[in-house]
Amino acid sequence: MANSMFLGCDVRKPFRNYIPIAARVCLAPLGFAFIFILVLANVDFSSYAWSGYERTGFQHIVSVCMDTISSTVILVLIYLLILKLTKTYSKKDMIAGVIYLTVFHLFFLIFSLTDLVIILKNTVEYLLYHIGHWSYSEQLSFEEIEGQKNYRDISISVIYFFVNTLLSMLITAWSHCLCGSSSDNDKKGTFCQ
């Protein structure tokens, strides 16, 4: 009974199987918060690599990539800590978690560094226009324009989070398929045991 207790809660065996999945899905969006905190605290890569305010496009790309890598490493360490604390650590879950968190942030990086943000913004505005939640009228007041923008931005965030989570989960499921079942792994001696 003592082994199934975590922070005063009884974690039964059927629910323990879902702890690694829930942990990685809940942790993945926190990478954006870590990047935000790094930038606010002036400990991001850009603050140490270059001085002054003038930066080239290449320097911005390197900065975003390094900040994304550092936030992903922090998330992987937190994920490992969660697995150890809940006693659900296995190499298979750890590999799946690392793949999931890395792919989630890789999609964020690709999405941020390409024109996909603009394409998604235009698509959401077009869809909102057709359902009556967006207007291109110049007669709108400042509050109405800001309300439209907030609604659009929330829609973009929800779409991005849903699609990114879906793609990351598909890649994680694909990595589980590569590892095979646990009984096959015991026979083969693969790294997914």
For the stretch 20-62, pLDDT in tens is 888 888 888 888 788 878 777 777 777 777 666 667 778 878 8
State the pLDDT at residue 188: 47
Pick the closest to residue 163 from 107, 113, 117 (CA basis).
107
| pTM confidence score | 0.65
Tell me if residue 98 falls in helix, strand or coil: helix
Tell me the backbone φ, ψ of residue 50, rounded to 5 degrees: -135, 150
Spell out, as residue ranges, where the chain has pLDDT lower than 50.
Answer: 1-2, 181-193
Q: What is the DSSP letter of 39?
A: H
pLDDT, averaged across the chain: 78
Tell me the domain boundaries of the chain: 2-182
Place of tokens 């002036």: 42
